[in-house]
Structure 1
Amino acid sequence: MAPVAEPLDPGTRSADLRRAPPMTLWPAGPLNRALLIAAVAVVLGTGGYVSYDRWLAEDPACAPGVAKRGPRHECVGVTDGGFLFAPSLKQVTGRIKAENDSVAGKSPATVALMIPMISDTQAEQQEYVEQVQGAYLAQYRANHQANGKQPPIRLVLANPGRGYEQWRTVADQLARAAADKKENLRAVAGINISITETEEAVRYLTKDKGIPVVAGPMTADDIKNTAADPHRYPGLARIAPGNTDQADALAAYGSDIKPAETLVVEDIREGDNYLASLRQTFEKLAKGAPNAPETFRSPPDFNDEGNLANDFHQMVPDICSSDAKTLYFAGRPVQLRLFLVELSNRKCNKHYTVISGSHASTLTVDEKFADQWGALTNGAGITLRYPGLAHPEAWGERSTTPTGGSKAALQELTDLVQKFGTKEPDSIGPANLSDGRVIITYDAVSTAIAGIRNDAVGSVKMPSLSEVADSWLRLHGNNRVEGASGWICLDQYGNPYNKAVSIVHLDPASKTAAFDGIAWPAGRAPDPNCSIPN
Structure 2
Amino acid sequence: MKLWPAGPLYQALLAIAAATAVAFGGYFVYRSWFADNPACATGVSKRGPQNECVGVTDGAFFYNNNKLRKIFDLIRDENSSAEKAAQEQNSSPATIALMIPMTSGNPAEQAEQVEQVKGAYLGQYHANHKAFTQPPIRLLLANPGRGYKQWRVVADQLEKATSDDNLRAVVGINISLPETKAAIGHLTRKNIPVVAGPMTADDIANDKDHLHRYPGLARVAPSNSDQADALAFYSKDIKPAETMVIEDSRDGDNYLESLRKRFEKLAEGAPRAPETFISPPDFNDEGYLANTFDQMVPDICTSPAKTIYFAGRPVQLRQFLFELGERSCNKHYTVITGSHAATLTVDEKFTAHWDALTKSKGITLRYAALAHPDAWGDNSTETTGGSKAAFQELTKQLPKAGAKPSDLVDGRIIVTYDAVVTAVKGIRMNAMDKVKMPSLAQVASSWPRLHGEKRVQGASGWICLDQYGNPYNKAVAIVHLDPRKKTAVFDRIAWPRHRAPDADCSILNEE
The alignment partner of 1:353 has SS state of strand
Corresponding residue number in structure 2 for 1:135: 120
Corresponding residue number in structure 1 for 2:461: 486
Equivalent of residue 83 in structure 2, options 81, 104, 115:
104
Partner letter of residue 498 of structure 2?
Answer: G
Q: Distance in 1 between matches of 2:469 and 2:157?
A: 25
**Pair 1:441 & 2:416 matched:** yes
Q: Distance in 2 between matches of 1:110 and 1:445?
A: 11
Partner letter of residue 425 of structure 2?
Answer: A
Structure 2 gaps, min length 5: 1-7, 87-91
Partner letter of residue 115 of structure 1?
Answer: I
**Pair 1:76 & 2:76 matched:** no
- For residues 203-242 of structure 1, the aligned pairs below 5 Å read 203-207=185-189, 209-242=190-223
**Deviation of the 1:398 alpha carbon:** 1.0
CA deviation digits over 1:82-122, x for unaligned, max 9? 00111111111110011011122521100000000011110
Corresponding residue number in structure 2 for 1:87: 66
Tell me, yes or no, if the aligned pair for 1:76 and 1:159 is still in contact at 8 Å. Answer: yes
Tell me, yes or no, if the aligned pair for 1:57 and 1:77 is still in contact at 8 Å. Answer: no
Equivalent of residue 376 in structure 1, options 357, 378, 381:
357
The alignment partner of 2:478 has SS state of strand
- For residues 334-483 of structure 1, the aligned pairs below 5 Å read 334-417=315-398, 419-422=399-402, 432-483=407-458
Partner letter of residue 44 of structure 2?
Answer: V
CA deviation digits over 1:168-210, x for unaligned, max 9? 0000000000122xx0000000000000000000000001x11
Partner letter of residue 47 of structure 2?
Answer: R
Equivalent of residue 192 in structure 1, options 143, 150, 174:
174
Corresponding residue number in structure 1 for 2:99: 114
Tell me, yes or no, if the aligned pair for 2:36 and 2:46 is still in contact at 8 Å. Answer: no
Q: Distance in 2 between matches of 1:372 and 1:103?
A: 45
Partner letter of residue 124 of structure 1?
Answer: E
CA deviation digits over 1:188-239, x for unaligned, max 9? 00000000000000000001x1100000000000000010010000000001
The alignment partner of 2:397 has SS state of helix
Partner letter of residue 159 of structure 1?
Answer: N
Q: Distance in 2 between matches of 1:95 and 1:186?
A: 21
Corresponding residue number in structure 1 for 2:3: none
The alignment partner of 2:425 has SS state of helix
Partner letter of residue 61 of structure 1?
Answer: A
Partner letter of residue 440 of structure 1?
Answer: V
Please tell me the root mean square deviation across aligned C-alpha atoms, in Å: 2.4
The alignment partner of 2:424 has SS state of helix
Q: Distance in 2 between matches of 1:165 and 1:156?
A: 19
CA deviation digits over 1:298-355, x for unaligned, max 9? 0101001111000000000000000000000000000000000000000000000000
**Deviation of the 1:56 alpha carbon:** 10
The alignment partner of 1:229 has SS state of coil
Q: Distance in 1 between matches of 2:221 and 2:156?
A: 26
Tell me, yes or no, if the aligned pair for 1:225 and 1:232 is still in contact at 8 Å. Answer: yes
Tell me, yes or no, if the aligned pair for 1:57 and 1:64 is still in contact at 8 Å. Answer: no
Partner letter of residue 135 of structure 2?
Answer: P
CA deviation digits over 1:228-286, x for unaligned, max 9? 01000000000100011111100111110000000000000000000000000100000
Equivalent of residue 130 in structure 2, options 127, 145, 154:
145
Q: Report the TM-score, using the length of structure 2 for normalisation.
A: 0.91
Structure 1 gaps, min length 5: 1-17, 42-51, 423-427
Partner letter of residue 238 of structure 2?
Answer: I
Corresponding residue number in structure 1 for 2:158: 174
Going from structure 1 to structure 2, the CA distance change for 1:101 and 1:429 (only over 3 Å counts) comes to: farther
- Percent of residue pairs identical: 67
Q: Distance in 2 between matches of 1:349 and 1:256?
A: 22
Partner letter of residue 174 of structure 1?
Answer: L
Tell me, yes or no, if the aligned pair for 2:38 and 2:46 is still in contact at 8 Å. Answer: no
Corresponding residue number in structure 1 for 2:302: 321
Partner letter of residue 40 of structure 2?
Answer: C
Partner letter of residue 202 of structure 1?
Answer: I
Tell me, yes or no, if the aligned pair for 2:47 and 2:53 is still in contact at 8 Å. Answer: yes
The alignment partner of 1:345 has SS state of coil
The alignment partner of 2:221 has SS state of coil
**Pair 1:513 & 2:488 matched:** yes
Going from structure 1 to structure 2, the CA distance change for 1:177 and 1:56 (only over 3 Å counts) comes to: farther
Corresponding residue number in structure 1 for 2:42: 64
Tell me, yes or no, if the aligned pair for 1:150 and 1:456 is still in contact at 8 Å. Answer: yes
CA deviation digits over 1:4-60, x for unaligned, max 9? xxxxxxxxxxxxxx9x999x9xx99xxxx9xxx9xxx9xxxxxxxxxx99x999956
Q: Report the TM-score, using the length of structure 1 for normalisation.
A: 0.87
The alignment partner of 2:481 has SS state of strand
Tell me, yes or no, if the aligned pair for 2:35 and 2:51 is still in contact at 8 Å. Answer: no
The alignment partner of 1:131 has SS state of helix
Corresponding residue number in structure 1 for 2:5: none
CA deviation digits over 1:51-91, x for unaligned, max 9? x99x9999562001000000111100000000011111111
Tell me, yes or no, if the aligned pair for 2:71 and 2:401 is still in contact at 8 Å. Answer: no
Q: Distance in 1 between matches of 2:453 and 2:371?
A: 22
**Pair 1:267 & 2:221 matched:** no
Q: Distance in 1 between matches of 2:458 and 2:203?
A: 24
The alignment partner of 1:432 has SS state of helix
Tell me, yes or no, if the aligned pair for 2:195 and 2:217 is still in contact at 8 Å. Answer: yes
Partner letter of residue 121 of structure 1?
Answer: N
**Deviation of the 1:371 alpha carbon:** 2.1
**Deviation of the 1:430 alpha carbon:** 8.7
Partner letter of residue 478 of structure 1?
Answer: E
Equivalent of residue 143 in structure 2, options 159, 168, 171:
159
CA deviation digits over 1:453-510, x for unaligned, max 9? 0110010000000000001011001100000000000000000000000000001111
Q: Distance in 1 between matches of 2:405 and 2:110?
A: 14
**Deviation of the 1:164 alpha carbon:** 0.4
**Deviation of the 1:406 alpha carbon:** 1.3
Tell me, yes or no, if the aligned pair for 1:206 and 1:233 is still in contact at 8 Å. Answer: yes
The alignment partner of 1:104 has SS state of helix
Tell me, yes or no, if the aligned pair for 1:58 and 1:66 is still in contact at 8 Å. Answer: no
